[in-house]
Copies of this chain bind each other. A is one copy, B any other.
Amino acid sequence: MKFSVIVTLKKDVLDPQGKVVENTLRNIGMEDLKSVRQGKYFEIEINIGDPKKAEKKVDDMCKKLLANLVIEDYKVCKI
């Protein structure tokens, strides 16, 4: 079973990395740009047949390692 995990900074947390990408895009002529925020993406394959149990496990992984819940949000989707 395969899941995608997207980890993003919370709305009010500064995102210097995203800002750099934003400025660079502007510098190469993308004037209509409003904002860029960067996050992390993981594709996780897991050997559990039961979708609920598998999703719970991936959720656990996010809480324990992949996301820092103080400043980040995460989203798990089955793919």
Contacts and interface: CB of A to CB of B under 8 A. Distances in A.
A interface SS class: strand
Given A32-B48, A39-B42, A41-B8, A21 B65 contact: yes
A41 B40 contact: yes
B33 A39 contact: no
A53 to B, nearest CB: 9
A11 to B, nearest CB: 11
A45 B35 contact: yes
Contacts of A42: 18, 21, 36-39
A28 interface: yes
Contacts of A41: 6-8, 38-41
Interface of A: 4, 6-8, 18, 21, 24-25, 28, 30, 32-48, 57, 60-61, 64-66
